A and B are shown apart, each in its own frame.
Chain A
Amino acid sequence: MTFFSRFSLTLLALWSALAAASSDYHERLFLHPLPQSSLLASFNFRSNTSQQSFDNQHFRYFPRALGQILQHAHTKELHLRFTTGRWDAESWGPRPWNGSKEGGTGVELWAWIDASGDEEAFAKWITLTQSLSGLFCASLNFIDSTRTTRPVVSFEPAGDHPPTDGLHLLHGTLPGEVVCTENLTPFLKLLPCKGKAGVSTLFDGHKLFDAAWQSMSVDVRPLCPPEGECVVQIEQTVDMVLDIERSKRPRDNPIPRPVPNDQLVCDTSKPYNSDDTCYPLETTTEKGWSLSEVFGRKLNGVCPLTDSKDPNESTVCLRVPHDRGVFTSEGTLETKQADGFTRCFTLKASEPFDLVIPEQPVTSEVPLEEPILNAERTIVGHGAERGGMRIIFGNPSDTSDVDFIFFETLPWFLRPYIHTLRATITGRDGVRREIPVSEIVKETFYRPAIDRERGTQLELVMSVPAASIVTLTYDFEKAILRYTEYPPDANRGFNVAPAVIRILDSPHTRDTAQNAPVFIRSTSLLLPLPTPDFSMPYNVIILTSTVIALGFGTIFNILVRRVVSADEAAALGAQTLKARILGRLVAIRDKLGGKGTKVE
């Protein structure tokens, strides 16, 4: 069990225990203190609507605005992600929800669209992105053909779809999109309680977007249980990792200040220890915090729309050792789980809830599991002309191989040379040796980019052996663009979307009966391109035209003129237009001169 993501397992197990009724609404908050005084807060809101009432536009919990967009664009399944920051897998362990509820940096959207052909699907996709762009105040309308891909193996529908051929998967990313408060407000409006009651009252844009990592997701999928009617499920999640120290700073005085002298714990064994010199000792206690300190407000009761068939349904869960002291508001019912680390709270309706964890010496810690796969993607090389991509996959397991699908989309101005794809493998002995790519890569799906039309799509089905690190590299060339195609901050570079890794049927995913896929996303990359001089289009047009005119003028001048010897030229000179005009001028002058003398 050590290698299994117990935390994600708990999350999923708790969550799935709630049966999917035809029309219901559930919400939940999961808190998990992480090492380095971080706190993972995982919010989840889920509601079901029967397929029939969805088709008849009879919306209760399902947001009408989103439902109508989906119907208009014939979208059967939708996944939308807004993410900022980076999940630090080394310190924080595996990702919440096994990475299935997070996206790459920026905005990521994928959907299954019902259409009769590729072109129709794309037209509906454009309708969908334009509408969602308006709904979520995000630049989703910039997902054009160059940012849209059709992954072949990387994604599988999460819902139950009737077996038809008409479903088209389209995937788009906006790695440069800055997710901010204006995206949170429409997100909250989709919730039945709209942030007025229940766990959604904790959302504060200042705290949420100050997090070290945060991811908002919207998933819509049809579900058809073996018995009963089909439902359309919408699930919204917000996951964030807050720095507790940083969040506890009061809003009106956010500047960090040094610890006052009298509160410093000094190492008195140091020889230089005195009144004015101190070697601070590491604290042996865990910092205390409370919901109202970290989120800036208390949790405002329970959303009254929550299904209350089960009166003991708990909405807030906390994952700390059972011996940790936790104080809650009065009237809260606490249930401790058998795993020794999780406790859940059933809240009293319409009463504010706060949760206080006092400062306490560390006695036991919640164990962190090791991720199944570590992945890292970087751009190597220097200069604005060409570079290389390096992707490092580390398999920490000593026993089992990891099979996964690596999916990346590259913008068209990054031209990869797939024939330069190389693989090296490093075992536990630290010896690095080159191996044929076919030993690691089982299958390749490659769709090269076309300039200004579509981006590169690369899907690799791979397997990394136990206890080894595999490095893939390939070369690429950077295109130079027309000057109008550069953004105003051209020298900052261009964003390259993160790669998506889906772990295939590993022992881990087999154990979670949920069959939820495990996803890992790399960070987004910044690609500097060669830039022209933006200040001088006129000068360039003039200078180039001059050189062309010089060439053309000289050659045609030579071609059309007659060759004569120098003597002849002098003789001919008398008959040229210039000579004749000069002659006429002289004659006029003489005439005028003659007149002048007469008058005198």
Chain B
Amino acid sequence: MSVDRRKIAVFSAAFVLRLVLICLFPSLPDLLTGRVEVSTPVNSFKRLQEGLFLYTRNVSPYDGGVFHQAPLLLPLFALLPEAQFHPLPTAIFYIFVDLVNAQALATISESGQSVKSRLHSAIRKHIRWDGVSVAAWFLFNPFTIATCLARSTSVFTASGILFAVSNAVSGNTVNSMLALGFASYLSLYPALLFVPLVLLCFDQRAQGQSQVPNVALFVIQHGAMLVGSVSALLGLSYLITGNFWEFMSATYGFHLLVPDLTPNSGLWWYFFIEMFDSFREFFLGVFWLHLASYVGGLTTRLRRQPLFVITSLLGVFAIFKPYPSISDASLFLALLPLYRHLFPLMRYTFFAISAILYSSLLGPAFYHLWIYAGSGNANFFYAITLVWSLGLSILLADAVFAAIRDEWEQEHPESQGQEVKQV
């Protein structure tokens, strides 16, 4: 079993790399935890520690402005030894979550859903990476490593999403909905993935059967499962916190209304710092509508490839959600290699990759100039976040274009390789 040996090698190398980084540079996790590109108000480990401190001392962590993460994380982390005195158990726990995520990613890749689904079969299906390569790409991505070392709680949302997808491609539709419910419970925005995910489940179900099940019934059943799992988690949270509205407004209200404008790699924070007070609510609505609008557009046009819709929606979230961090970008970049066969059709990869590299190198420097050196102002870092978002959106648009062209080539096999135009 040479494949398994490769996988073990990749996974253990990823494990050892993270452990070595933590042991060689003991201050690295705390340094990364403090970086605005990695830790946002909704996934910061330091804020989680503060919430945990208050929770273990019977003070409601939601009766304050610091902690905005889901209540179930509190008893989970209360089981681990305190990270400020014993950092290793928490770090190992996070490394395992990373490995589990990579395993889910390998499952998705090995299912072949990205090249051949019920309604679509890619022309260039021979150009692809196997599961281990995709997992390795995820595990050795510096963004993933930084997220893991910074102990950002986004990794749990990422697990939820990856498990939802991996269960969907393996046909476990119930587990898939439960995992999506978990991810939505943690971060709210994964709920937008429901439509493509339920289509993915539906295609998977319909593929094996001669008789296509009723779509409406299928969607309603799975919607009920999602709602059920989220309500069960909320009910558990209520048991933990004892005050339903307090934690709802401190977590989901916080996601929706964006009151904390700590800088991050996204577009919202500086916009809402500079926005005139009377227009703040209006633009909040516009930004959220904008974010949700991609779901309909992508799902309708790319109906035949629901997994690709999920991938591109994750890209959209990494750019346009209120508190994005590099962990969201790393999730998008992890799913993108599933579409290795689309890479030859992409047109602006060099430009997009350059923009992303440029901004990820200059971002920390410009942030330092603004916050510490005082020789730059807020516009320095703001400009870098613009470039970062631009680079990611070019990559995303290019991938969408390649997917559409791939579908066209499948319909017109005779014109494969020809120059195309959109009219």
Complex CA gap A413/B290 in Å reads 30
From known contacts A418-B50, A554-B393, infer whether A540 and B423 are also in contact, taking CB-CB under 8 Å. no
Given A565-B419, A576-B423, A530:B370 Cβ within 8 A? yes
Of the candidates B59, B65, B370, B378, the one whose C-beta lies within 8 Å of that of A451 is: B65
Contact between A563 and B270, CB atoms less than 8 A apart: no
Is residue B15 contacting chain A, with contact meaning CB distance below 8 A? Answer: no
Look across to chain B and name the residue whose beta carbon is closest to the beta carbon of A449: B65
B320 touches A551 (CB 8 A): yes
Q: Which residue of B lies closest to A420 (CB)?
A: B84
The stretch among A97-105, A215-223, A381-389 that forms the contact with chain B is: A381-389
The distance in angstroms between the C-alpha atoms of A452 and B258, with both chains bound, is 13
How many angstroms from the CA of A448 to the CA of B294 in the assembled complex? 38
Please tell me if the beta carbons of A548 and B65 are within 8 angstroms of each other in the complex.
Answer: no
Within 8 A of A (CB), among B405-419: 405, 408, 412, 415, 418-419
Interface pair A533/B378, CB less than 8 Å apart: yes
Q: A19 at interface (Cβ–Cβ under 8 A)?
A: no
Closest Cβ of chain B to A408, distance in Å, is 16
Q: Are A572 and B320 neighbours in the complex by a CB distance under 8 Å?
A: no
B279-301 CB contacts (< 8 Å) to partner A? 287, 290, 293-294, 297-298, 301
Contact assessment for A449 and B64 in the assembled complex, using a CB-CB cutoff below 8 Å: yes
In the complex, the answer to whether A451 meets B319 with C-beta atoms within 8 Å is no
Residues from chain A with Cβ under 8 Å of B343 in the complex: none
CB contacts under 8 Å to A, within B317-341, are: 319-320
Distance of B122 from chain A, by nearest CB (Å): 15
Q: Are B274 and A555 in contact (CB under 8 A)?
A: no
| Residue from the list B46, B273, B276, B319 in contact with A481, Cβ < 8 A | B273
Q: Could you tell me which residues of chain A, from 551 to 575, have a CB within 8 Å of some CB in chain B?
A: 551-552, 554-569, 572-573
A28 on the interface (CB 8 Å rule)? no
A516 at the interface (CB under 8 A from B): no
Contacts of A558 in B (CB 8 A): 397, 400-401, 404, 422
Map CB proximity to A onto B45-57 as digits: 1 under 8 Å, 0 otherwise.
Answer: 0100110111000
Judging by beta carbons under 8 Å apart, are A446 and B59 in contact?
Answer: yes
* A42 CA / B259 CA spacing, docked (Å): 48
Residues on the B chain within 8 Å of A541, using CB: 271, 274-275
Instruction: State the Cβ distance, B30 to closest chain A Cβ, in Å.
Output: 10
B130 at the interface (CB under 8 A from A): no
Asked if B273 and A383 sit within 8 Å, CB to CB, the answer is no
**Interfacial chain A residues near B53, Cβ < 8 Å:** 418-419
Quick one: which of B66, B270, B290, B393 contacts A448, CB cutoff 8 A?
B66
Q: Is B421 an interface residue (CB 8 A)?
A: yes
CA distance A530 to B368 in the complex (A): 12
Name the residue in B297, B396, B423 with the highest tally of chain A Cβ atoms < 10 Å from its Cβ: B423
Q: Tell me the dominant secondary structure on chain A's binding face.
A: mixed
Inter-subunit contact B386/A480 (CB<8 Å): no
CA distance A126 to B147 in the complex (A): 47
Interface segment, B87-95, B161-169, B260-268?
Answer: B260-268
Q: Which residues of B contact A483 (CB under 8 A)?
A: 273-274
Tell me whether B404 and A450 are in contact (CB under 8 A): no
B401 surroundings in chain A (CB, below 8 A): 558
Among B389, B393, B400, B415, the residue within 8 A (CB) of A559 is B400
Query: Within 8 Å of chain A (Cβ to Cβ): is B379?
Result: yes
Given contacts A481-B261, A533-B377, contact A448 B63 (CB under 8 A): yes
Separation of A569 and B418 alpha carbons in the complex (Å): 12
* Shortest Cβ distance from residue A135 to the other chain B in the assembled complex, whole angstroms: 32
Q: Residue of A at shortest CB range from B261?
A: A480
Partner of A383, one of B59, B298, B301, B371: B371
Residue of A at shortest CB range from B370?
Answer: A530
> A418 contacts which of B54, B263, B290, B370 (Cβ < 8 Å)?
B54
Which residues of B sit under 8 angstroms from A382, Cβ to Cβ? 372
CA of A572 to CA of B420, assembled, Å: 13
Query: Given A415-B65, A448-B66, A540-B271, does the pair A564, B423 have CB atoms closer than 8 Å?
Result: yes
Whether a CB of chain A sits under 8 angstroms from the CB of B272 is: yes
Is B112's beta carbon under 8 Å from chain A? no
Q: Are B277 and A484 in contact, with the CB atoms below 8 A? A: yes
Cα A383 to Cα B405 with chains together (Å) = 50
- Which residues of A sit under 8 angstroms from B394, Cβ to Cβ? 554
- In the assembled complex, the Cα of A386 lies from the Cα of B47 at a distance in Å of 13
Asked if B274 and A563 make an inter-chain contact with CB atoms under 8 angstroms apart, the answer reads no
Q: Is the CB of A417 within 8 A of B421?
A: no
Q: List 11 A-B contacts (CB under 8 A).
A: A417-B50, A419-B49, A420-B84, A448-B64, A479-B260, A537-B276, A547-B267, A551-B393, A555-B297, A555-B396, A566-B421
Instruction: Enumerate chain A interface residues (CB-CB to B < 8 A).
Output: 382-386, 412, 415, 417-420, 446-452, 479-484, 530-533, 536-537, 540-541, 543-544, 547-548, 550-552, 554-569, 572-573, 576
Closest 7 CB pairs of A and B: A448-B64, A419-B53, A551-B393, A561-B422, A569-B421, A537-B274, A566-B419
Interface residues of B (CB under 8 A from A): 34, 36, 46, 49-50, 52-54, 59, 63-66, 84, 259-263, 267, 269-277, 287, 290, 293-294, 297-298, 301, 316, 319-320, 370-372, 374, 377-379, 382, 386, 389-390, 393-394, 396-397, 400-401, 404-405, 408, 412, 415, 418-423
A sample of 11 more A-B contacts (CB under 8 A), given A385-B372, A548-B320, A554-B397, is A384-B372, A451-B65, A451-B259, A479-B262, A480-B261, A481-B261, A483-B274, A530-B378, A533-B378, A551-B396, A563-B405
